Structure 1
Amino acid sequence: MIGIVMFFAALALLLSGFPVAFIFGGVALLFGVFAQGADIFAFMPFRIQSIMESTTMMAVPLFIFMGLVLQKTRLAEQLLEAMAKLFGGVRGGLAISTVLVGALLAASTGVVGASVVAMGLISLPVMLKYNYDKSLACGTICASGTLGQIIPPSIILIILGDVLGIPVGDLFKAALWPGLILIGAYIVYILIYAFMNPASAPALPVDPSISRRSYYGQALKAILPPLALILVVLGSIFAGIATPTESSALGGVGALVLALIYRQFSFKMLYDASLETVKVTAMVFAILLGATAFSMAFSYTGGDYIVEEVLTQLPGGQMGFLLLSMLAILVLGFFIDFVEISFIIVPILAPVADALGIAPIWFAILIAMNLQASFLTPPFGFALFYLKGVAPDSIRTTHIYKGVVPFILLQLVVLVTILAFPGLYGLT
C-alpha cells in the first residue's frame, strides 16, 4: 500500500503551490528509498537519457516555437479583424468569428495561453463595445482558446503519443473529427443563444460603403497565410511525407517566413520567442523527469499492481473502467495541470486499458478531450486566469466562471458521444 499512500501524498502536496516537478521527484525519493532503498533509482539515468533522446518529444519545443513566433506576428489580430467584418452582420457574429479564429490559431499554433490572451485583448473589447453579454463573450474566448488541446498539432497529443506509445501522426488524424464537431457545437450554441437573446449578441451595423466582395477579399488575405502553414504542417504528416517531428521543424521555418511576410521579423522577436520556448519546454521536461521518478517508485512499491487489480475488477468491463477513469481525470483537471495528469495518471491507467482490450487511439482521444475541459474548469482552469489577466476591470471572475459552464457541458457532450459511439469518429 506504500505506492497508494505515495500517490495521495503527492496529490495533497500539489495544493501547496510548490513546483510540481520537485513535488513528484521529492515524494518519489522519500517513499522509494523508504520502501526499497537507494538502489530503486539505479536505472534513473538511463530513463532520463531515453527521454532526452526521444524523437517524438523533440516536436514539443518546435511546435511551441512555431506558436510563439506566430503570436508575435499580429496573426491573431488580423484574423479577428477580418472575421469580424465577415460575420459581424449576423447575430452572434463576433462570437462565431472568435470560435473560427480560435480554430485557425489552434491548428497553426497549438498554444492555449497565446490564443486566449490574443483574443482577450482584441475580441473582448469589441464584443463589450457592441453590448455582448459579458459571460457569453468570456466563455467564447476561453473555449475557443482551448481548441488547441484537441485540434492538431496539439502538444497534449504529442505527449500522449509518447506516453502511450502511439504514432503521433495517427493521433493527429484521429483528433480531426472530434475537433471539428466541437467547433460546430460551439457555433450552434452561439446561434441558438443569439436567437433566444438578441440583445445579448447583436449583429454589427453594416457599413454600406464597403462591398461584400471587399470583406471577402480582406478575410481571404488574412486567412490564406496561416492556412498555407496548416496545410504544410498537417498535410505533410497525413500524406506520409514527414513525421510529426519533421513537420514541426517545417512549421517553425514557416512561422519565420510568415513573420517576414507580415514584416514583423526582427532578431529581438526571434530572441524573445526562443527564450519563451526554452522556458516552456524546460517546464514540461522538468515535470516529465519528476513524473518518471514517481512512476518508478510507484511501480517498484507495487502500486501499479493494486490499481490494475482494482480497475480490472470493476463492474461493466471496458465501459465501467472508461467511465471511472474519465471521471477521475475530469475531477483531477479541476486542480492540476494537463501535463501532470498526462505523465502521472495516464501511465497508471494505460496498462489497465491495454489489459481490457481498449483501442489505444480511442483511449488517447478520450483523454485529450477530457484534458481540454481542465483548462476551463474552475477554480484552477488556466484559460480562466489567462483571460482574467488581460480583461478590463468591468469583467469580474464570476462573469468568466458563468460563461465557461455551457462550453464545458458541450465538451462533455462531445466526450460522451466519443465514448458511446467511437465508430462514428473512426476510433475503433
Structure 2
Amino acid sequence: MDIQTATILLFTLAFAILLTGIPLGFATSAVAIVFAYSWFGPDALTIVTSRMYGIVTEPSLGAIPMFVLMACLLDRSGLSTDLFNGLRILAGKLRGGVAVQTIAVGFLMAAMSGVIGGETVLLGLLALPQMLRLGYSKNMAIGSVCAGGALGTMIPPSIVLIIFGLMTRTSISDLFTATVVPGTILMLSYVAYILIWCYLRPQDGPPLSDEELEKIKNSDVSPFNLVILPACLIFLVLGSIYTGMATINESASLGVVGALAILVIKKRFTYKILDASVRATVNTCGTVIWAGMGAIAIVGIYNMMGGGAYISSLFAGIDAPPIVTILIMLGIFFILGTFMDWIGIAMLTLPIFVPIVVSLGYHPIWFGVLFCINIQVAFMSPPMGASAFFLKSVAPPDISLFDIYRSFIPFILLQISVLVLVMIFPQLALWAL
C-alpha cells in the first residue's frame, strides 16, 4: 500500500469510528494500533505505548488540571455573579449597556479561568434573562452572551493556547503574550458593534430604567468591592507569568490558591464545593489526556509511515503564494471545527501543519493566534458549533437553535475580520518577540 492510499484509509477509518460515538481518544488509539501492526509488524506496538506514555509525562500538561480546577472553583464561588453585578455600573443609561457589560464580564472570566464553554453557560444564566427582561432583541442578547463566552479560546490563560504550545513545542508564555492585542481588539470590536447598532436601533438595546439605576445606587455592596477580588486573581495569575516570577504550572497553582482564598473570604468554602470541583476537573482532564494519547499515537505512526513528508509535498506542490497554504489550513480547521471538538483538531493536525508553516517562513506563534481565532469561529458556527448547544441548555424554551445561530452572524463576521487583520499585520501577534 502506498502512502496516498494509506492516508485516505487512515483518516477515513478514524472519522468513521468517531461517527459511531466512540470517544476521540479510543478511536484514534485503535486506528494507530491497527496501522502500526499492519505497516510495521507486532514489534511496532511498543512505539504506540511509548508515545502515549510520553504525553502523560509531559511537564507542560500539568498546568491544565490546575487551570481547570481554578475554573471549577470559580464557577461554584459565585464570583461570576459578583463580577456581573459589580459591572452593572457600566450599563447605566447607555444603549446596549448590559450587552457591553456581558462582553466585559466574558473577557474578565476568560482571563481568570482559561476554560471555554463554561463562560457561555454562566453568561446565559446571568445576562440573558436580564437582557430579555429589559427588552433587548433576541439577536443582541444571544449574540453578546455567546461572543463574550467564546473569548475564552484566546484570552490567557486559555487552555487552547496551552494545548497549542504543548503540541507544537512553542513557548506557552509567548503564546499568552501574543494573544493579548488580538484578543483585546476582538473584544473592543464586539463593544463597538453593540454600541453602534444600539445607537442606530435603540429598541434592540434599551438602557436601564431609572428604577434599576436607583437600585444599584442604593445597594449595600459597592460595585468596586465586587470587582476587586476578580482583579486581584487576574493579576496573580497573569502578572506572575508576564513578570517572569512564575512558570505556567506555578501560575496555575497560584490561581487555585487564589480561587480557594476567594471562597474562604466570601465564606462559601465547603467540602461539597471542593469535592464537586475536583470531580469535574478529573472528568475534564481525563478527556483531554485520552484524546491527547490517541492523537499523539496516530500522528506518530502516520509520520513514521512517511505521512508528514507526504502532506508537506502536497502543500509544497501548490502553485500559489505561501499565504494560500495558510488559508487552506485555516479552512481545514474551520471545516473540522463544525463537527469535531477543538482538542481533537489541535492534536491531530498541529503536529503535521506547524512544521509546514515554519518551512514556509511563518512564525509558529503567529499561526497559533490564527488557530485560536479560527477555533473561536468554529465554536460559534453551525451545524455543530458547541457555543449554541451550551447556551441552548440554559436558554428559555422559546429560544430555538435557529435563533441562536442567526444571532451569531455579525459576531462571526467580526471574528473573521480580526483573523484577516492578524494575517495582514503579523506584528499584532508578534509585537513582543
Tell me if TM exceeds 0.5. yes
- Measure how far apart 1:347 and its partner are: 1.0
Q: Tell me, what secondary structure is at the counterpart of 2:87?
A: helix
Are the counterparts in 2 of residues 86 and 216 from structure 1 also a CA contact under 8 Å? no
Are the counterparts in 2 of residues 79 and 101 from structure 1 also a CA contact under 8 Å? yes
- The change in CA–CA distance for 1:213 and 1:6 in structure 2 (over 3 A counts) is same
Match of 1:415 among 414, 419, 431: 419
The question of 1:92 aligning with 2:96 is answered yes
Are the counterparts in 1 of residues 71 and 115 from structure 2 also a CA contact under 8 Å? yes
| Alignment-derived partner of residue 177 in structure 2 | 173
| Alignment-derived partner of residue 138 in structure 1 | 142
Structure 1 distance, partners of 2:287, 2:110, is: 21
Q: Tell me, what secondary structure is at the counterpart of 1:112?
A: coil
- The change in CA–CA distance for 1:344 and 1:204 in structure 2 (over 3 A counts) is same
Q: Tell me, what secondary structure is at the counterpart of 1:242?
A: coil
| Alignment-derived partner of residue 326 in structure 2 | 322
The question of 1:200 aligning with 2:204 is answered yes
Match of 1:16 among 10, 13, 20: 20
The question of 1:223 aligning with 2:227 is answered yes
- Measure how far apart 1:31 and its partner are: 2.8
The question of 1:400 aligning with 2:413 is answered no
Deviations 1:44-65 (A, max 9, x none): 3332332222211100000000
Structure 2's unaligned 5+ residue stretches are: none
Are the counterparts in 1 of residues 32 and 48 from structure 2 also a CA contact under 8 Å? no
Aligned amino acid, residue 58 of structure 2: S
Structure 2 distance, partners of 1:394, 1:220, is: 36
Are the counterparts in 1 of residues 51 and 300 from structure 2 also a CA contact under 8 Å? no
Are the counterparts in 1 of residues 33 and 48 from structure 2 also a CA contact under 8 Å? no
| Alignment-derived partner of residue 269 in structure 1 | 273
| Alignment-derived partner of residue 71 in structure 1 | 75
TM-score, length basis structure 2? 0.95
Q: Name the stretch that deviates more: 287-296 or 85-94.
A: 85-94
Structural mapping, 1:153-302, within 5 Å: 153-207=157-211, 210=214, 218-302=222-306
Structure 1's unaligned 5+ residue stretches are: none
| Alignment-derived partner of residue 340 in structure 1 | 344
Structure 2 distance, partners of 1:324, 1:295, is: 20
- Measure how far apart 1:212 and its partner are: 8.4
Aligned amino acid, residue 63 of structure 1: F
Are the counterparts in 1 of residues 124 and 394 from structure 2 also a CA contact under 8 Å? yes
The question of 1:36 aligning with 2:8 is answered no
TM-score, length basis structure 1? 0.96
Aligned amino acid, residue 126 of structure 1: Q
Q: Tell me, what secondary structure is at the counterpart of 1:42?
A: helix
Q: What is the number of residues matched between the two proteins? A: 428
Structure 2 distance, partners of 1:294, 1:158, is: 21
Structure 1 distance, partners of 2:268, 2:313, is: 56
Identity %: 36
Structure 2 distance, partners of 1:263, 1:279, is: 27
Q: Tell me, what secondary structure is at the counterpart of 2:61?
A: coil
Structure 2 distance, partners of 1:8, 1:201, is: 47
- Measure how far apart 1:209 and its partner are: 7.8
Match of 1:365 among 349, 365, 369: 369
Structure 2 distance, partners of 1:426, 1:50, is: 30
- Measure how far apart 1:266 and its partner are: 0.4
Structural mapping, 1:100-115, within 5 Å: 100-115=104-119
Match of 1:308 among 309, 312, 317: 312
Deviations 1:249-279 (A, max 9, x none): 0001100001111221101100000000000
